[in-house]
Amino acid sequence: MKSFCHPIVGVLVLALSIIFSSNNVVSAVDIKLHNQANVSVEKRIDDLIGRMTLKEKIDLLSGTGFETKALLRLGIPQLKMTDGPVGVRWGKASVFPCGTAMAATWDTSIVKQIGKSIGEEVKGKGRNVILGPCVNIARLPIGGRDFESFGEDPYLASRMAVSYIEGVQSVGVAATVKHYVANNQEHHRTFVDEKISPRALNEIYFPAFKAAVQEAHVMALMAAYNKVNGEYCTESQYLLDTTLIQNWGFDGLVMSDWGAVHSTLKAMKSGLDLEMPSGIYINDSTLLPLIKSGKVSEKEIDEKVRRILRIMFRLGIFDHESKIDSSLINTSDHRSAAYRAAVEGIVLLKNEDGVLPFSSESIKSLAVIGPNAAIARTSGGGSAMVSPVFSISPLEALQNRLGNKIKLTYAPGVYLEGDDPPVDSSFLYLPDRDVHGLLGEYFDNQELQGEPKIERIDKTINFNWSGNPPIETFKPGHFSVRWTFRLRVPETGDYIISLGSDDGSRLYIDGKLLINDWEDHAFESRSSKVRLKSGRFYLVKVEYYQNAGDAAVKLSLRRDDVDLIKDAVDAARKSDMAIVFAGTSAQYETEGKDRDNLVLPCNQDELIQRIAQANKRTVVVLVSGSPVTMSKWISKVKGVLEAWFGGEEAGNAIADVLLGRYNPSGKLPLTFPVRWEDCSAYGTYRRQDSVSYYGDGIFVGYRWFDEHQIKPLFPFGYGLSYTSFEYKNLQISSRGDGDKKRVSVSFTLTNTGGRAGAEVAQVYVSNLNKSLGEPPKVLQGFVRVELNPGESKLVQLELTKDAFAYYDEKSKSWVVNPGDYKIIIGSSSRNIRLSAILSLK
């Protein structure tokens, strides 16, 4: 008998077969839930993962420069990142004060405003993610990236981190807390093994990351280069899976630092989601065999894809295209935030005889001296260096504010390495004819091999290509250049020829190798003294290669027979007052290397001593990212300011503090030691190749100085004002038990001076049960209070049980022991104003 099926029935059967076939139920009408903005994020992710092939999933786990891969078939866009943390490193942008300067404000509101401003500029550049903040603890004061972080104390760093992240993410941009964890030195940073106790990890190095995750709900985290206790941070299950994901509940994206992945299987099992900047270890060829053998499951791949997609959906980049909007860059609000942070972060370290502020009523002539006077040192070096839309030097700002009221005389005194101006193009001639210029040969390899891809005539050697290649078709971070030219100087004499580069460079004169710096490094400059005769041609060859990251090269030449210090001393002697702008620069404090010591470079100590001898009214303004030693001259000068790398508005901020337009209120976020040898890391740093033992444990920064009764040059939390403050009437009360334990602290703060000003009152807790190995005191609260002359305010803070807890290694938990605790109120860690005993039962 012949079967019969009506056409309509056939259609229904076909539809039902589609609906119920296979394990994955698919609607007959394919509703793409991942494109529906009103559907929950997790359902959108489920829908999208269900549509992805295994290859597409693997493709999403590695980047391409500063982006994730776009998967066009499914409409998955790129997640676009950009460096920070003091601004958007993508073309020109606003430059905000460095991390230590932000922390020196002790003002969470301005740090949150900076975060919001940076977030807006990230959007203005058409990007989605800022690679900041950096919250690593400044364990050693010579650390190359200390300037990026928020200082030596985990509580202060946590408060700054939370505020920064909340600001960034309030405008729909993802922050990336970095570098997880203990990336506290640049020396051997890509492989050094940090041996750290569980207690030190939990009490010193974890807190800022934990606060970023649990309080600020940061969307992304960057795993560091280094090892911790034998495991690379990108491969550590304890750090990433157990601690970060399981214990802290982080559900965002875990990415590697650029080039920090060392394996496939360990990285996949650790909790790492994304290899940056490309898939060297995480790709089809490495992962598919592991999946086939069962060592890695597709479910594990799905979870990593989920975490990457989650940040995309939370940012809304599936629902609206990221567009460039230049109106969001360097707005008046952003410049205002940059100025406010810069001026609030300036720390007055010394003000003998009230030398500051000065005015046209007190002096008629001023010598402005030093290598940091006429240059705007907006930031330290490396990936934190942002190209400013606007910047102003202290000299220019003083000239603008003073006009003709005070006679200004400027003298550099010394030059810092890398500051010499590029060689005058009129001195340079092509190798084969009397025409100004240099023959540049550009190679698409790092070895200057084969035929150059392009030859061109350059005017001089002064290039900063950032992360972009000099030729559009070149692979970023993988090229080399040879310049050949003839050099002729107008006057016979001794000259200093300098060649600065990131990475390797070398220089030959008449075939002789004069400068050889042919290795990978952050930007640094090498110099040589040469005798040059006028009218004679010297054949010069400069070679340069770049290996990932920044790309910069600069050739400088200056006369060496000019006594710069003598000129500066003459200027100081003829003036009523002298201000020496000393410090460091982006060449000395930079990613990729630590400083050799804390001494001011390039003979600045001698410069300051001689200026102070010539003018008894000498003030030193330090422009740096971290401490410098001052023993040779601190007693000889009347005043000292620490102004940090203050961002684009640093010059204006410094001028306003010097002139009394703003009353300084900054406090040190790290201890300034008398000498490097006094610091906790000195005895273990670089003592063993590729290993660093954290023998100081929880005694980092001021904890170490307090425990060992070492007198610092200036203590943590220190900072003077043009007015004075009085602390009175400390009251302490407690309520609740266990996790609900709360301790209320209140006191009265009065401005007893003649100027309006702000004071940062600090709350420390001392566990009097010394058998637990506690530091003498630990910061657990602070408040910044603005007061008019004669005004009083009641200051109130609340401490939770966390303020009294320590990490117990045996139980692997936080413990609060009953006993007596001292509540300490200070204007610094050493200037204690009030204290009282609290008994916890």
Point out which residues pair with 527 in neighbouring strands.
498
Cβ(100)–Cβ(151) below 8 Å: yes
User: Does the pLDDT of residue 24 top 90, yes or no?
Assistant: no
In Å, the largest CA–CA distance within the chain is 121
pLDDT confidence band for 180 (50 / 70 / 90): very high
Q: Which segments of the chain belong to CATH 2.60.120.380?
A: 425-460+468-548
CA proximity to 650, closest of 332, 379, 370, 406: 379
Cβ(71)–Cβ(51) below 8 Å: no
User: Does the pLDDT of residue 26 top 80, yes or no?
Assistant: no
Q: Which CATH number applies to 346-418+562-688?
A: 3.40.50.1700
Gap between the Cα atoms of 562 and 559, Å rounded: 7
Query: Residue range 397-419: average pLDDT?
Result: 95
Gap between the Cα atoms of 272 and 259, Å rounded: 13
User: Does the pLDDT of residue 239 top 90, yes or no?
Assistant: yes
User: Does the pLDDT of residue 368 top 70, yes or no?
Assistant: yes
98 DSSP assignment? P
Convert the pLDDT of each residue in 598-654 to its tens digit. Answer: 999 999 999 999 999 999 999 999 999 999 999 999 999 999 999 999 999 999 999
Cβ(784)–Cβ(759) below 8 Å: yes
- What pLDDT score was predicted for residue 469? 77
CA distances in angstroms from 594 to 183, 186, 586, 785, listed in the order given:
12, 6, 12, 36
Gap between the Cα atoms of 376 and 379, Å rounded: 9
Which of helix, strand or coil describes residue 777?
Answer: coil
Fold classification of 19-327 is TIM Barrel (3.20.20)
CA proximity to 458, closest of 485, 421, 420, 497: 485
Instruction: Determine what percent of the chain is predicted with pLDDT higher than 70.
Output: 96
**Which tokens is 729 given?**
């009437």
pLDDT confidence band for 730 (50 / 70 / 90): very high
The reported pTM is 0.92
Query: Residue range 813-834: average pLDDT?
Result: 96
Q: Which long-range contacts does 426-432 make (Cβ < 8 Å, 24+ apart)?
A: 427/487, 427/488, 427/489, 427/490, 427/557, 428/459, 428/460, 428/485, 428/486, 428/487, 429/485, 429/486, 429/487, 429/488, 429/537, 430/457, 430/485, 430/486, 431/484, 431/485, 431/486, 431/539
| Side chain identity, residue 557 | L
Q: Which segments of the chain belong to CATH 2.60.40.10?
A: 725-840
| Side chain identity, residue 52 | M
Convert the pLDDT of each residue in 769-816 to its tens digit. Answer: 877 789 999 999 999 999 999 999 999 999 999 999 999 999 999 999
Q: Tell how far CA 198 is from the center of its chain.
A: 26
Please state at what angle helix 332-345 crosses helix 650-658, rounded to 10 degrees: 50
Alpha helix positions (H), 277-368: 284-293, 298-315, 332-345
pLDDT confidence band for 841 (50 / 70 / 90): confident
Please give the full DSSP string across 529-561, using - where no structure is assigned: EEEE-TT--EEEEEEEEEESS-EEEEEEEEES-
Q: Is 373 exposed, middle or buried (0-12, 13-18, 19+ CB in 10 A)?
A: buried
- At CA 189, angle to CA 185 and CA 191, rounded to 5? 140
Query: Residue range 346-367: average pLDDT?
Result: 97
Gap between the Cα atoms of 699 and 708, Å rounded: 10
CA distances in angstroms from 712 to 642, 679, 826, listed in the order given:
16, 9, 16
Q: Tell how far CA 798 is from the center of its chain.
A: 30
Please give the full DSSP string across 450-464, using - where no structure is assigned: SS-SEEEEESSSEEE
User: Does the pLDDT of residue 328 top 70, yes or no?
Assistant: yes
pLDDT confidence band for 550 (50 / 70 / 90): confident
User: Does the pLDDT of residue 25 top 50, yes or no?
Assistant: no
Would strands 757-767 and 819-826 be described as parallel, antiparallel, or unpaired?
antiparallel
Q: Which segments of the chain belong to CATH 3.20.20.300?
A: 19-327
Selected catalytic residue, list 59, 146, 193, 257? 257
- What pLDDT score was predicted for residue 467? 62
Would strands 478-487 and 438-443 be described as parallel, antiparallel, or unpaired?
antiparallel
Q: Is 710 exposed, middle or buried (0-12, 13-18, 19+ CB in 10 A)?
A: middle
How many other CB atoms are found less than 10 A from the CB of residue 178? 26
Mean per-residue pLDDT of the chain? 94
Highest mean pLDDT among 10-19, 452-461, 585-594, 827-836: 827-836
Please give the full DSSP string across 151-180, using - where no structure is assigned: -S-HHHHHHHHHHHHHHHHTTT-EEEEEEE
Q: Does a cis peptide bond (omega within 30 degrees of 0) precede residue 357?
A: yes
Cβ(765)–Cβ(797) below 8 Å: no
User: Does the pLDDT of residue 20 top 50, yes or no?
Assistant: no
Q: Which strand ranges, in their side-by-side order, compose the sheet holding 819-826?
A: 778-787, 757-767, 819-826, 832-840
Would strands 813-815 and 819-826 be described as parallel, antiparallel, or unpaired?
unpaired
Gap between the Cα atoms of 199 and 727, Å rounded: 34
Cβ(181)–Cβ(224) below 8 Å: yes
Cβ(263)–Cβ(231) below 8 Å: no
**Which tokens is 257 given?**
């630092």
Q: Residues of 399-420 as b/e, b for ≥16 C-beta within 10 angstroms?
A: bebbeeebebbbbbbbbbbbbb
- What pLDDT score was predicted for residue 272? 98
At the top level of CATH, the class of 725-840 is mainly beta
- What pLDDT score was predicted for residue 33? 84
User: Does the pLDDT of residue 243 top 90, yes or no?
Assistant: yes
pLDDT confidence band for 40 (50 / 70 / 90): very high
Torsional sign, CA 699, 179, 130, 248: negative
- What pLDDT score was predicted for residue 19? 41
| Side chain identity, residue 523 | F
- What pLDDT score was predicted for residue 5? 44
Active site residue 570: no
- What pLDDT score was predicted for residue 726? 98
Gap between the Cα atoms of 225 and 290, Å rounded: 24
Which of helix, strand or coil describes residue 798?
Answer: strand
Gap between the Cα atoms of 128 and 735, Å rounded: 44
**Architecture of the domain defined by 425-460+468-548:** Sandwich (2.60)
- What pLDDT score was predicted for residue 4? 41
User: Does the pLDDT of residue 658 top 90, yes or no?
Assistant: yes
Q: Which segments of the chain belong to CATH 3.40.50.1700?
A: 346-418+562-688
Query: Residue range 115-143: average pLDDT?
Result: 98
Would strands 129-131 and 81-83 be described as parallel, antiparallel, or unpaired?
parallel
Gap between the Cα atoms of 183 and 145, Å rounded: 9
- What pLDDT score was predicted for residue 709? 97
CA distances in angstroms from 560 to 280, 417, 611, 658, 687, listed in the order given:
48, 14, 21, 33, 38
